[in-house]
Structures are given as structure tokens and as C-alpha cells.
Amino acid sequence: MSKSSVLLFQRITPSYRVPVFRRLHEELQVVLCYSDATVNGVASHLHGIEFQNELLPGGFFLGRSNLFSQKILSVLRKHRPSVVICEYAFGNFTFWKLLLLRPFMGYRLIGWSHGIKNRDMVLDEKSMHFKTTGFFLKRLDAVLLYSEQRRQRLVERMPSLAEKTFVAHNTLDTTLHTEVYQRYQERNRDALKRELGISTRFTLCFLGRLRDSKRIDLILEIWEKLRASHDIGLVLIGDGPERQRLEKYREEPGLFAPGAIHDVEESGKYLAACDAMIMPGYVGLSIVHAFAFGLPMITCRSTKKGPFHSPEIEYLKDGVNGFFCDSDADTLAGCVERLILDSDLLTKMKQNALDTVQNEANVDRMITGFSDAIEYVTGQGKSTS
């Protein structure tokens, strides 16, 4: 194979990433390299990856969930890449191997990373983690971040990185999600709700892992407060250790917990029947999922006590496509109640959520970020400074 390949190393390939990686291969000829493993409860998706890829031997080093290693030498020899992109993380030994092998194999190395930890973004501190990260980012050929806010903060602290730092706005395959939403919009919404057994006038939803950092306890408290005076339902899509909290509500009408749903068509059916998404804990890519189905996002503003949101939180505009609230049940319930009582506000926010996906969180912007970084390291593009 000619020395023109671009290899993308991932520990695993979650199902939601497959359409994005397919686009990267189709448009930029990127070859995905990944392992069959489970990281933080998320397993590699091994079906439907019909585009060129490499399944690597790999797994946890010494059985530790925060240390991951893959065998990479044979795939590097096979493809002789000109560019390699890899998740930058302290515990990702594949990255460190690629950094050490770079002088001998002659490829350009791009680190794909948050750049700044979620906690450090809120505390605005130059932690030891940040200082160490900066030391190694300076030694890469280019840096690819998840959001513009992270790039701005990183460059403020390390101006020397400005020229080679790019943004691949992190998102989902919004084209697919929007198409699914439009199909459900063409159906009678009341009939869709009846099909799912939802009879409440207003329905909140949550989508994600049921774990304590997502504050499932607070979601249930808010729902209990609101249903005392409003006809409100709650849909919880996901699974995890916090599922045990739902046992006491097993016989309660208005609560729906279908478990984890990875199929966009199936989860989309529930989202299309809901009115808003609530997530008091940290927010990640679920905000894109919500917006693609016209659901305003209600969450808590970050403080020194948390939540420490992921980079995707930059899509949320307070009062426009969702709400930032204080981290207490009364304030959060008040924000939900505003949408229950003001149908015009709800309609406007739902449209703004859809517009955000169309204009800001679309997958084309993510692909462009990868393209810009690749062109920069190969000498075909301009810097971002």
C-alpha cells in the first residue's frame, strides 16, 4: 500500500461513532483501527463496519480499566501511514507507543483530545494534569479538540499551540437522527404516544447511562414535585447501577424505563413522543441527540462542586434551546414548569434546538475539523492562527 494512508486509532468503536467513522473513510480515506473491548460500560460495535478497518489485538493492561494497550506494529507496517490520529489520554498506551515510533516510521501524529479536563474548565486551574498534557501536546504535529471553547482556553494558556490546534466539533451522525425525527413527525403524535403507552400531556425524558454522576435521584425528585400539580410523564432511556432507584416506582403510572436502546429508530420513537430532556448531572453527546429530536435541554450550570460538563455543552444557549439551572430540585422543576405552562416558549425552544443541530452540531463541521488538521500536517492547508 502506498504511503498515503491516514490511520485513526481508537480503543473501541461505540455504535454512535460508526456513522461518523464511515464518513471519515468515505471523504478522507481514514482507516479505523480499534479493538473488541468494553470501556466504561460501552462495548465496541462490531456490526455494520463495512468500510475499511483494522481490528487490533488489545485490552486492559494488567486488568486495570484506566490502562489500555493495543498491538500496533503490524498495522503500521502494513499501511505505512503518512498521518496517524489517536485519542490522547494518559492511560491509552497506544498513544505513547505511536509517539515513540513516530521518528522511526515517519508519520505525522495528531492527538484527538478534550485538551482540558472538564473539571479544569470549571475551576480554571492549571492542574498538574493540564501542565503534563500541555508538555506533550506541544510535541505533536497537530492537536484536534472537541469544541471551540476548549481551543480558546487552551490557546489562552499556551499561545504556542494556536497554529496547530484545530476543532472537530464533537457530534453524532445528525443527518441520520434528523431523518428519523422527520419520519416520526409525519406520524400522528398522539397515536405514537398511545403506541408507547404514554398518556401524559407533557413528558420529560433522559437518555444515557443510569449512574450517580447523572443525578437520577434528582430527576426522580423533580418528577415527583411536578406531577403533584401537572400531568407529566418521565421516560428514562438507559441502564446502569442507578436503575435500582426505579424499583419503588415500578407500579407508578407515568414512568417509563425501557432500558438501554442503541438503535436510533427505536430510541427516536420515545424521543419524538417527549417534550424536553432533563439531565442535572454532566452533559455529553446526549445534548446533540436531544436537539436532533427538537428537545430543549435542561441541566445545571457548572460550579466548583460540579457538574463538570463535557465539551458538547457549548451547544446549549441558556433561554434559547434549553436552560442552565441551579443544582436543586425546586429551581430545576421551575424551569420545566415554564415549558409546561408556556406552549409558545416550548415551541420556540424546540425549533431553536433543531436549528442548533442544523447550523452548529452537524456532522459536516466535525469532518471539516479532521480534514483541516490532516491538511495542515501534510502541508496542504493553512494554520488556525
pLDDT 10s digits, 82-103? 999 999 988 999 999 999 999 9
Give the pLDDT of residue 210: 94
CATH number of domain containing 178:
3.40.50.2000
Q: Do 327 and 367 lie in a common domain?
A: no
Q: Do 146 and 269 lie in a common domain?
A: no
Q: Do 16 and 118 lie in a common domain?
A: yes
Mean pLDDT score, 72-84: 97
Describe the chain by its helix, strand, coil percentages, rounded to 5.
45, 20, 35
Residue 1 lies in a domain: no
- Give the model's confidence band at 3: pLDDT under 50 very low, under 70 low, under 90 confident, else very high: very low
- pTM score of the predicted model: 0.91
Which DSSP category does 145 fall into? E
- Give the model's confidence band at 49: pLDDT under 50 very low, under 70 low, under 90 confident, else very high: confident
Residue 329 lies in a domain: yes
Please indicate whether residue 46 or residue 79 has the higher confidence score (pLDDT): 79
Q: Do 163 and 234 lie in a common domain?
A: no
Give the pLDDT of residue 261: 92
Q: Do 118 and 196 lie in a common domain?
A: no
- Give the model's confidence band at 195: pLDDT under 50 very low, under 70 low, under 90 confident, else very high: very high
The tens digit of pLDDT for each residue in 170-191 reads: 999 898 899 999 999 999 999 9
DSSP string, 260-305: ----HHHHHHHHHT-SEEEE-S---THHHHHHHTT--EEEEPP-TT
> Is residue 45 scored above 80 in pLDDT?
no
> Is residue 65 scored above 90 in pLDDT?
no
- 42-46, 74-78, 166-170, 342-346: the lowest-pLDDT one: 42-46
Give the pLDDT of residue 42: 73
Q: Do 203 and 332 lie in a common domain?
A: yes
Instruction: Name which of 247, 254, 286, 287 is nearest 273 in CA terms.
Output: 254
Give the pLDDT of residue 2: 41
Give the pLDDT of residue 150: 95
Give the pLDDT of residue 381: 56
Q: Do 185 and 273 lie in a common domain?
A: yes
> Is residue 193 scored above 90 in pLDDT?
yes
Q: Do 130 and 220 lie in a common domain?
A: no
Residue 41 lies in a domain: yes
271 close to 249: Cβ distance less than 8 angstroms: no
Q: Which three cell numbers stand for residue 231?
A: 400531568
Instruction: Name which of 293, 310, 286, 301 is nearest 332 in CA terms.
Output: 301
> Is residue 71 scored above 50 in pLDDT?
yes
Cα–Cα distance, 273 to 359 (Å, whole number): 24
> Is residue 1 scored above 90 in pLDDT?
no
- Domain containing 328 equals 174-359
> Is residue 39 scored above 80 in pLDDT?
no
Give the pLDDT of residue 383: 54
Q: Do 279 and 332 lie in a common domain?
A: yes
Provide the 3-class DSSP secondary structure of residue 45: coil
Q: Do 194 and 165 lie in a common domain?
A: no
Dihedral in degrees, nearest 10, Cα atoms 365, 371, 373, 379? -150
Give the highest mean pLDDT range of 86-90, 108-112, 238-242.
Answer: 108-112
Q: Do 207 and 113 lie in a common domain?
A: no
Mean pLDDT score, 48-53: 88
Question: What domain count does the chain have?
Answer: 2
Q: Which three cell numbers stand for residue 211?
A: 449512574
Mean pLDDT score, 55-78: 87
Residue 266 lies in a domain: yes
Residue 217 lies in a domain: yes
- Give the model's confidence band at 380: pLDDT under 50 very low, under 70 low, under 90 confident, else very high: low
User: C-alpha distances in angstroms, 273 versus 216, 235, 241, 254, 332?
Assistant: 21, 10, 26, 13, 21
The tens digit of pLDDT for each residue in 260-303 reads: 998 899 999 999 999 999 999 999 999 999 999 999 999 999 99
Residue 384 lies in a domain: no
- 8-12, 127-131, 231-235: the lowest-pLDDT one: 127-131
Exposure on the CB side of residue 225, measured as CA atoms within 13 A:
16
Cα–Cα distance, 75 to 90 (Å, whole number): 22
Q: Do 248 and 144 lie in a common domain?
A: no
Give the pLDDT of residue 22: 94
Give the pLDDT of residue 138: 93
Residue 382 lies in a domain: no
Q: Which helix (H) or strand (E) holds 234?
A: strand 232-237
Residue 52 lies in a domain: yes
Cα–Cα distance, 137 to 112 (Å, whole number): 10
